[in-house]
Structure 1
Amino acid sequence: MTVLTALDLSGNQGLVELPPEIGRLRFLKYLNLSLTSITKLPTGLANLRNLRCLLLDYTMHLTKIPPREVMSCFSLLQVYSKMNRVMEYFDEVKVSVDDELAFLDVLGGFRHMNKIRITLFCHPSVEKIFSSYTIQECIRKLKLIDCTGLTSLCPNYALPNLGKLEIFRCCSLQEIRKPDWGEFHNLRQVHVGVCPLLPNLTCLAYARNLEILTILDCQSMKQVISEEEIVGDEVFPKLKTLSLTCLPSLETICCLPKSFSSPIEIEVSRCPCLRQLPFDDESVDFLKKIRGELEWWAALDWGSDFVKDACSFKFKSISAPSGNAKEMTASTSKEKTASGSKS
């Protein structure tokens, strides 16, 4: 099959290696190895000089990709993707800083690249991305895990094509600043978890098209959006789903009573200090459904009886999870991974 142009091996979890003969497929343009158990890429892959698309999502056993021996040969590459599962967040990740930086050097050198979906584990790699406009333009999904020493995210540009951002277990992270230039116009999904020093996500006031926001186990977070950075009369004009879990210091979502202007579903769990919801008599109609513990619901303060009655009609009680962040994340990872791998 030496004239094969597309090869999709995704989902074959029993596949642990590729034969060196794969290098004979010199016309191959599309290679999908997502959800396989491969541990390395054979050097014969370097012969695939016509490759345009390489997908390696959820290949948890593939920890190292030779940037120069293999990746540097894909000079026509346009799409690269390697994302990790949610459940893998809790496994110890050992990634060499030098290897990750070398890989980014190669990735940023492709003249035809236009789509990158990538997971990063090292603080210097994050800084490198934020200093490279070429890479920033290409990133569609960005996941940061265990970036020890990362105290601040300060993008010069607003990652113009970024659609999904995930930050997990970045225990030194203290702020995410708004970009120096532009807004997060294309950002649709944000998931943040186990960032104990992060006080807010005020930068999301500049993500006007955000649809899904999940925040998990951020011990210091007091506000989702602080009033100092509110843009206009609405904060989340297109938000559809808001999930807040294990935020013991959270006091407000946003100070504006008209934070939402489209139908939204909200879930709140283990947020004992959150006493008010950002709705008034007009905006409460946008609430489709709200879930939370009965004890939390009973302690809420209401601006008016109308808002209380309208919200109560849409309220559904849930049991408070007793597990830690690992167990809570693992319980929902299967469905999120299933939908994430398709996208």
Structure 2
Amino acid sequence: MPLLRVLDLSHSFMFKELPAGIGNLAELRYLNLSHTDIVSLPEEMRNLVKLQHLNLQHSFLQELPAGIGSLVELRYLNPSATRIRSLPEEMRNLVKLQHLNLWHSFLQELPVGFGNLAELRYLNLSGTGITSLPEEMKNLVNMQHLEFQSSCLQELPAGIGDLAELQYLNLSNTWIRSLPEEIGNLVKLKHLDLRTVFLDRIPQGAISRLSELRVMKLYNSMWEEGSEGFNISELESLEHLIHLDLTTSTVHDLERLLGSSKLLKVTRFLQLEGCEGLTTSIRLSYLFTEIRRISIEKCNMLEEVTIGADGETYDDYPVSSLEYLHLRNNSGLKCILVGCGCFENLSSISIEHCYKLKKIDSLLQLESLEKIEISNCYELEEVISKIADDDDDDEEVGDKGLMQLSFISLKNVPKLTSIWSDALHFPSLEVMEVSACPKLKKLPLSLHSAHNSLREIRGGKECMMTSKGFDDIEACLMLSNYRAELHRIAAIRAGPNKKDLDLAYHIEHLHMAKQKIREEKLKLEDRCSATATYGRADTSDIHIHKGSKGKLRNSKHGLSSRPNLQMEEGS
């Protein structure tokens, strides 16, 4: 095969090394060894002098041979996600190399002579152990795309400003603490990612000089603003800016943002963290029409968050683009109010560690909600509350429901007694998760609440022990629409005296399930009453799963000490 030009061995696990004869393929241009068990390359690889494309990603390669320097026609080299710890100095000979991807390799430093790769346009060192860059990086004058995400990089050399063609620079989640003044020389830079970079200082005027900048990501990053440093007003001078992710920790910065119609139009992610001057309440209304994600964290003086507009005026408000709202570690937050309209795109709400939160009013007005997560809210008693002047009766609201909701998770909400006072319509609900909510005894479900959609119900040991709780489980079994055998319902472990009460029964088919469940429920309640003298029963974890075909699985010693309630469906 002396004329072979393309050899693709990707996803082949038949061999760990290439035969020496690979060097005889003198016309080979393309070699793909990705996703293989290759651990080394033969020295004969040096004979592939016409090779232009070499893909080694996700292999077990431990080093590149020195002979790789002979591949003088190589344009593309990808040893990403390999075990390579160093590069041979002979790589300086790859003067035509344009694309080098070392993503998540074990690389610790770049070799001497790396600056010789003057044609290099793409370099990815994300996830590597690189801590610094050589000064000769300034010689890579054709570089257009640089990535260092989640690497150990601690500083940028001043020579970074000589990369006049650079358009994309990703420094997110690195150890960099300051940016050099010369970064302002990157006049063709279009994308700058500084997410999760805790900068001590951004040079004043450097950002405003990036005249072509289109995307600026400062989300979850802290930077010092002052007379000698960067301030938000610099962003207003960027004529081509279309995407801004921003974290602010002062009310002063927030006011600057709100006072700039230009920045409000381009802001996509906004994080308010530790805004000590942010007191009493905040209304997420028409001011945030273009923002897709808002996170409010550690604003301990904040007591109230209002989502939406006043009921009488909301028709005048433009529709918001907000999709995700995250409230975390706001220790003073007591109330979340949901107003009318404008937040038609809000699909996910996450509330964590808001210890004083007592009320969430009119959540049902957020009709596009797909995901609700609430955890460690110690005072919350009801997830979906109604405002006092709500004229809708429960039946009408229940029919309306949350049409798009697919996932709801409630964890460690000890005072929670109700999700909603009656059954709700959940046509899209797939997973309901409840744990460490000891006072929650009833789910807002009926036989038709999540017809054809519910796949899993995950419950903790404190939940659903009353007769009403068993009604809920019965409803869940029916609405899950199982059409094959339901294999297992087992296990209620008794209380303080460790008297075991085990129940396991088999349901043949869905059309017979309802009557069988009712009969066994009555038996179970009788047996629970008979054991009342031994103390309050304690449930094990409950897990209802609609998935692949399965069988009743017990350990070889019988039921485990923490048995599960699990049902599986065959196709």
**Which whole-Å deviations, capped at 9, do the CAs of 1:173-192 have from their partners, x for residues lacking one?**
32221233332344333332
- Over 3 Å counting, the alpha-carbon distance change for 1:149 and 1:34 in structure 2 is same
Structure 1 residues 52-96: Cα deviation after superposition (integer angstroms, max 9, x where no partner): 21112232x435434x332222233221223339xxxxxxxx876
> Structure 1 268/166 Cα, relative in aligned 2: closer, same or farther at 3 Å?
farther
The alpha carbon displacement at 1:20 in A equals 0.6
Partner AA of 2:375 in structure 1:
L
Residue matched to 1:328: none
Q: Does 1:278 align with 2:444?
A: yes
Cα distance in 1 for partners of 2:263, 2:363 equals 21
Q: Return the match for 1:119 from 247, 251, 270.
A: 247
Distance, in Å, in 2 between the alignment partners of 1:158 and 1:225 is 26
Aligned residues: CA RMSD: 3.6
Retained in 1: the 8 A contact 2:224–2:230? no
- Output the CA distance in 2 between the equivalents of 1:190 and 1:57: 22
Which residue of structure 2 lines up, in the alignment, with residue 289 of structure 1? 456
Q: Distance in 1 between matches of 2:303 and 2:404?
A: 27
Q: 2:381 aligns with which of 217, 222, 240?
A: 222
Task: Give a deviation string over 1:177-212, Cα, whole Å, max 9, x none.
Answer: 123333234433333222234334447545433333
**Structure 2 partner of 1:62:** 199
Separation of aligned partners in 2, 1:283 and 1:110: 51
Q: Quick one: distance in 1 between partners of 2:466 and 2:219?
A: 40
Q: Is the 8 A contact 2:218 2:245 kept in 1?
A: yes
Q: Which residue in the other structure is 2:173 paired with?
A: 35
* TM-superposed deviation, 1:303: 9.5
Deviation at 1:105, TM superposition (A): 2.6
Q: Give the aligned partner of residue 82 of structure 2.
A: none
How big is each residue's C-alpha offset from its partner over 1:265-298, in whole Å with a ceiling of 9 and x where there is no partner?
Answer: 1222322333332222211333321222122232
Q: TM-score, normalised by structure 1?
A: 0.74
Counterpart Cα distance in 2 of 1:126 and 1:250: 34
Q: Residue 156 of structure 1 corresponds to which residue in structure 2?
A: 285
Structure-2 residue corresponding to 1:327: none
* Shift of residue 48, structure 1, vs aligned partner: 1.3
Structure 1 residues 132 and 141: CA distance shift in structure 2, 3 A: same
> 1:56-205 maps to which residues of 2 (within 5 A)?
56-59=194-197, 61-66=198-203, 68-84=204-220, 103-130=231-258, 132-150=260-278, 151-157=280-286, 159-180=288-309, 181=317, 182=319, 183-202=342-361, 205=364
* Alpha carbons of structure 1 residues 260 and 156: separation in structure 2 relative to 1, 3 Å: same
Local SS of the residue matching 1:287: coil
Shift in Å, 1:308? 5.3
- CA–CA separation in structure 1 for the residues paired with 2:467 and 2:209: 59
- The CA deviation string for residues 221-246 of structure 1, in whole angstroms up to 9 with x for no partner, is 33333223799754532233222222
Deviation by residue 1:14-39 (Cα, 9 ceiling, x = unmatched): 21000011111222221111122111
Look up the SS of the partner of 1:10 in the other structure: coil
Question: Relative to structure 1, is the Cα distance of residues 95 and 50 closer, same or farther in structure 2, using a 3 angstrom cutoff?
Answer: closer
- Specify the SS of the correspondent of 1:244: strand
Does structure 1 conserve the Cα–Cα contact (< 8 Å) formed by 2:406 and 2:431? yes
Higher relative CO (Cα under 8 Å, sequence separation at least 6) belongs to 1
Letter in 2 for 1:173: L
In 2: Cα distance, 1:111 partner to 1:304 partner: 61
Alpha-carbon deviation of 1:46? 0.8
Is 1:307 the counterpart of 2:307 in the alignment? no
Paired AA for residue 65 in structure 1: I
Residue 142 of structure 1 and its aligned partner are, at CA, apart by 2.8
List per-residue Cα deviations over 1:123-168 (Å, max 9, x = no partner): 4444554554433332333333333343322133163343333333
Deviation sequence 1:292-327 (CA, Å, 0-9, x none): 2122232484595642544898999279xxxxxxxx
* Shift in CA distance, 106/205, structure 1 to aligned 2, threshold 3 Å: farther
Q: In the aligned structure 2, how far is the partner of 1:207 from the partner of 1:158?
A: 18
Give 2:497's aligned residue. none
Distance 1:144 1:44, change over 3 A: same
**Given the alignment of the two structures, is residue 239 of structure 1 paired with residue 405 of structure 2, yes or no?**
yes
User: Counterparts of 2:275 and 2:425 in 1: how far apart (Å)?
Assistant: 32
Secondary structure at 1:140 match in 2: strand
Gaps of 5+ in 2: 1-139, 310-316, 320-341, 481-485, 490-539, 544-571
Percent identity of paired positions between Structure 1 and Structure 2: 29
1:7 aligns with 2:7: no
From the superposition, tell whether residues 271 and 124 of structure 1 become closer, same or farther in structure 2 (CA, over 3 Å): farther
Would the alpha carbon gap of residues 210 and 104 (structure 1) be closer, same or farther in structure 2, given more than 3 Å must change? Answer: farther
Q: Is the 8 A contact 1:116 1:138 kept in 2?
A: yes
Quick one: distance in 2 between partners of 1:221 and 1:108? Answer: 42
Summarize the Cα distance change of 1:125–1:27 in structure 2 as closer, same or farther, 3 Å threshold: same
Residue type of the alignment partner of 2:449: S
CA 1:6 to 1:172, structure 2 compared with 1: closer, same or farther past 3 Å? same
Separation in 2 of the partners of 1:235 and 1:137? 32
Of residues 301-310 and 23-32 in structure 1, the stretch that sits farther from structure 2 once superposed is 301-310
Structure number with larger C-alpha Rg: 2
TM-score (ref. length: structure 2): 0.47
Cα–Cα, structure 1 residues 279 and 209, in superposed 2: closer, same or farther, change >3 Å? Answer: same
Distance 1:174 1:212 in 2: 24
Q: Distance in 1 between matches of 2:364 and 2:232?
A: 29
Q: Which runs of 5+ in 1 are unaligned?
A: 86-93, 320-343
> Does the 8 A contact of 1:163 with 1:189 survive in 2?
no
> Shift of the alpha carbon at 1:50?
2.1
